[in-house]
């Protein structure tokens, strides 16, 4: 039995979608939860639902991104529940545009919430966790777009790739303090994904009359409900995952996966180094022979 009894967690963007599923499941497993959202009503409704069900939760409305908002969430955990054990940085927004139409504001908004919000919240949490000296859990939100790149998502893919890079960096820096850091790479039906044309009719049927998502989605694509993702967050928040750190873990529908990390897949050497001409001659027959693929393939349904 994985239990979080006695632990205190913060979930950013916990008012709806995946964050709400995380907050509910963490509370159901015994954790006290600070439910953050920029939408104050959503945060309060979520916290009330958890306390009405017998769990422990408080709402903390704030726009994640700034150092002040991050500190306020950690302070809320400490003032309401006495400590902090788990920081889940889940808050997110999309501003999808192809590169040539993407404004500075589209770029900055997404980077502010995802990349800076993850940095500031984790830094504030880690300062508290190091002070407590009893280890802790950092769970951040990656995305297939950050692992592979995705059409129309310059800002989002960059932020999510940065989050994966921070995960690997922090896993190194925080190992001694017994603080684990892992990225969840989810795929689930939420406001963020229900407009994807290939998924839309299935999500609509699920919402209309509970028609289960077909195996082609649950197993093939690994696309399910937010609740399908929450078990991984509870596991990563628990003592059972103490040996797991620095990983990007995919989950969705019936599928659980481990993402590879970038590494050199092919090397070549030239005595004295490589001129442009030497690279041009060697490329097709050496390191360029099997170029890496990129992008998220369109789902086949």
Ligand X SMILES: NC(=O)c1ccc[n+]([C@@H]2O[C@H](COP(=O)([O-])OP(=O)(O)OC[C@H]3O[C@@H](n4cnc5c(N)ncnc54)[C@H](O)[C@@H]3O)[C@@H](O)[C@H]2O)c1
156 part of the active site: yes
Residue 64: CB minimum distance to ligand X, A: 3
Please identify which of the residues 143, 238, 241, 245 carries the catalytic annotation: 143
Beta carbon nearer to ligand X, 113 or 213 = 113
Would you count residue 36 as binding ligand X (CB under 6 A)?
yes
Residue 171: CB minimum distance to ligand X, A: 19
Virtual torsion, Cα 151, 11, 14, 199, nearest 10 deg? 30
Strands 32-37 and 8-11: parallel
In the list 13, 162, 222, 246, the residue contacting ligand X (rule: CB under 6 A) is: 13
Q: How far apart are CA 96 and CA 100, in angstroms?
A: 12
Q: In what order do the strands lie in the sheet with 255-258?
A: 56-61, 32-37, 8-11, 86-89, 136-141, 179-186, 248-252, 255-258
Would you count residue 56 as binding ligand X (CB under 6 A)?
no
Would you count residue 190 as binding ligand X (CB under 6 A)?
yes
Please identify which of the residues 25, 156, 235, 241 carries the catalytic annotation: 156
Query: Residue 5 is encoded by which pair of tokens?
Result: 């009894």
Beta carbon nearer to ligand X, 159 or 289 = 159
SS3 of residue 85 by DSSP: coil
In the list 26, 33, 34, 38, the residue contacting ligand X (rule: CB under 6 A) is: 38
Residue 15: CB minimum distance to ligand X, A: 4
Would you count residue 15 as binding ligand X (CB under 6 A)?
yes
Buried b (16+ CB within 10 A) or exposed e, 108-146: ebbbbbbbbbbbbbbebbbebbeeeeeebbbbbbbbbbb
Would you count residue 162 as binding ligand X (CB under 6 A)?
no
160 part of the active site: yes
Binding segment for ligand X among 50-58, 181-189, 263-271, 289-297 (CB under 6 A)? 181-189
In the list 4, 37, 115, 126, the residue contacting ligand X (rule: CB under 6 A) is: 37
Q: Are 47 and 41 in contact (CB under 8 A)?
A: no
In the list 27, 70, 81, 90, the residue contacting ligand X (rule: CB under 6 A) is: 90
77 Cβ contact partners less than 8 Å away, ≥ 6 residues apart: 8, 9, 10, 32, 34, 83, 84, 128
Beta-strand (E) ranges in 131-235? Answer: 136-141, 179-186
SS3 of residue 141 by DSSP: strand
Would you count residue 85 as binding ligand X (CB under 6 A)?
no
In the list 143, 150, 167, 238, the residue contacting ligand X (rule: CB under 6 A) is: 143
What are the catalytic residues?
143, 156, 160
Enumerate binding residues for ligand X (CB under 6 A): 12-13, 15-19, 36-39, 42, 63-65, 90-93, 113, 141, 143, 186-188, 190-193
């Amino acid at each position: 039995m994985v239990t979080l009894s006695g632990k205190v967690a913060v979930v950013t963007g916990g008012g709806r979608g995946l964050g709400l599923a995380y907050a509910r499941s963490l509370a159901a497993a015994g954790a006290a939860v600070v439910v953050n959202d920029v939408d104050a009503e959503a945060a309060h409704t979520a916290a009330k639902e958890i306390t009405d069900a017998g769990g422990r939760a408080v709402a903390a409305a704030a726009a994640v991104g700034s150092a002040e908002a991050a500190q306020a969430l950690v302070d809320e955990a400490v003032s309401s529940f006495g400590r902090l054990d788990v920081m889940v940085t889940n808050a997110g927004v999309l501003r999808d545009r192809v590169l040539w139409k993407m404004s500075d504001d589209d770029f900055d908004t997404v980077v502010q919430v995802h990349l800076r919000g993850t940095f500031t919240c984790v830094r504030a949490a880690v300062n508290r966790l190091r002070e407590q000296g009893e280890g802790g859990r950092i769970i951040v939100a990656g995305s297939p777009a950050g692992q592979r790149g995705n059409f129309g998502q310059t800002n989002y893919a960059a932020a999510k790739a940065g989050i994966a890079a921070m995960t690997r960096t922090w896993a190194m820096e925080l190992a001694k303090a017994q603080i684990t850091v892992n990225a969840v790479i989810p795929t689930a039906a939420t406001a963020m994904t229900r407009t994807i044309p290939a998924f839309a009719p299935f999500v609509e049927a699920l919402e209309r009359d509970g028609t289960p998502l077909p195996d082609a989605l649950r197993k093939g694509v690994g696309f399910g409900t937010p609740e399908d993702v929450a078990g991984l967050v509870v596991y990563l928040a628990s003592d059972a995952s103490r040996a797991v750190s620095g990983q990007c873990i995919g989950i969705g529908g019936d599928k659980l996966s481990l993402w590879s990390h970038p590494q050199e897949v092919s090397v070549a050497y030239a005595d004295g180094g490589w001129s442009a001409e030497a690279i041009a001659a060697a490329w097709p027959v050496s390191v360029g022979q099997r170029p890496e693929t990129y992008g998220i393939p369109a789902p086949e349904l």
